[in-house]
Amino acid sequence: MTTVAETNRRRGWVVVAICFVALSFTFGARSSVSMVLPLWVQELGWSATQVSTGASLVLVMMALGSPIAGNLMDRFGAGIVMACGLLALALGVGATSYVTDATYYYILFGIVGGVGWASVSIPMVTAAVSGYFVKFRGLAIGIGVSGASGGQLPILTLLGIMIAALGWRQSYQILAVVMAAMAVLVLLRFKPPVDDPENRVQVAAAPENDALFDRLKFLFANRTFLLLLGAFSLCGFTTAGVIDVYFIPYAISCGFSLVEGSFAYGIHGLGNLAGVILFSWMADHVNRPRLLASMFFLRAAAFVLLLFISVDFSVLVVFAAIFGILNFATFPVIANIVATHIGVRIIGLTLGLLFGGHSLGAAVGVVIGGWMFDIFAKYDFVWWLSVGLAALAGIFAVLVKETRDPSSKAVPAAA
């Protein structure tokens, strides 16, 4: 006889596989802005600021939409939310392939697409996968989330080749068809987890009259949450804000080709995969705030290395690998801290708000990066600013206290 846990694991691994592929394509689509930015500037006559404004709208929509999507996922299930998100992305990206006016780019890619990216994101995948597993929860989440990192290597490399061969418009149309097909797959194959008595302890821990306002009041009075919010917002500036958008244009400005730049960025994604696995394991064995702080300080040092790359392709690849290892890996460490310092009962809302801060920080980074390039015609000042902000994030992380038993499931008083 099949047990509830076995049924959930079987269903869960299907969900993990689909989430991995979905994040590979959705994050590849979002990162494609850095590939097409030079093409849009040349073909459509847009400025770097106009292109970056559309990309920042995506991040603003993700910031606003992540908590909402998490709440909808709690009410209606992961399948319907992620399927709708993929359809929104198919519409936004596909329609963008026909635009010539930046206003329509803002609406279609920035707003419509932004709704999709908010619904198919790392926090949403974390929430979707976690309900199926108890024993293998960390491993399952790590594999599903890694689609946003390691999964980008083949997708971005293929997308770079397609753009070079077919043009960006036709490449976007193909990408839209793939994401629409993924939406159908999600609807057909996402089966909800069966109620497992092993999880009732977590459910029972929630107060009966725990209103949203009370949860928000608790979080914004919590010292740990505020420190993590500050650190993760600065993290967004230095990663999704500047590296995800300006790394490939910077590589091209240094003399590398589009394919070389996109390949290096794909290596960055592979580094993300290795970092997620490595630091997820380390977070169970070492002081987590110090671990998180060291990652931010090393990231600051990596930005200094970026300032001194030449036309040597191997140096570009080395930077991409190092930065990738230190990029996405901050998320599982932060989620680990949240689970013990704040509690699993409200981890969805907490991670949604933290991701919202990350997205807002990224939006600011995109706009400031484009503005600085328009003024100075180079990215050096963007990288120096990122050095300082990454170091500041490390200081915030150091101030978090490591005082709790990692096995604790209760929501503690405000720290």
Q: How confident is the model at residue 409 (pLDDT cuts 50, 70, 90)?
A: very low
| Residue 137 CA from chain centroid, whole number | 19
Q: Which structural domain range is residue 362 located in?
A: 4-398
Rounded distance, CA 171 to CA 368, Å? 28
Place of tokens 């630091």: 279
Residue 403 lies in a domain: no
In angstroms, what is the C-alpha Rg of the chain?
20
pLDDT at 67: 84
CA distances 392 to 300, 304, 318, 324, Å, are 9, 15, 24, 19
Instruction: Count the domains in the chain.
Output: 1
Q: Around 356, how many Cα atoms within 13 Å sit in the side-chain half-sphere?
A: 18
Dihedral, CA atoms, 154, 157, 158, 161, nearest 10 degrees? -170
| Residue 401 CA from chain centroid, whole number | 25
Rounded distance, CA 378 to CA 375, Å? 8
Residue 411 lies in a domain: no
Residue 412 lies in a domain: no
pTM for the complete prediction? 0.74
| Identity of residue 96 | T
Q: At what angle do helices 347-376 and 223-236 cross, to 10 degrees?
A: 40
Query: Are 338 and 350 within 8 A, CB to CB?
Result: yes
Token pair in block for residue 364: 């600011």
Tens-digit pLDDT profile for residues 193-206? 887 555 544 443 43
CA distances 105 to 48, 101, 321, 374, 399, Å, are 13, 7, 32, 20, 41
Tens-digit pLDDT profile for residues 86-127? 999 999 999 999 999 999 999 999 999 999 999 999 888 887
Tens-digit pLDDT profile for residues 54-85? 888 988 898 888 888 877 877 788 899 999 99
Read off the CATH number of the domain in which 220 is found.
1.20.1250.20
Residue 132 lies in a domain: yes
Residue 409 lies in a domain: no
Q: What angle do CA 51, 54, 57 make, to 5 degrees?
A: 150
pLDDT at 210: 63
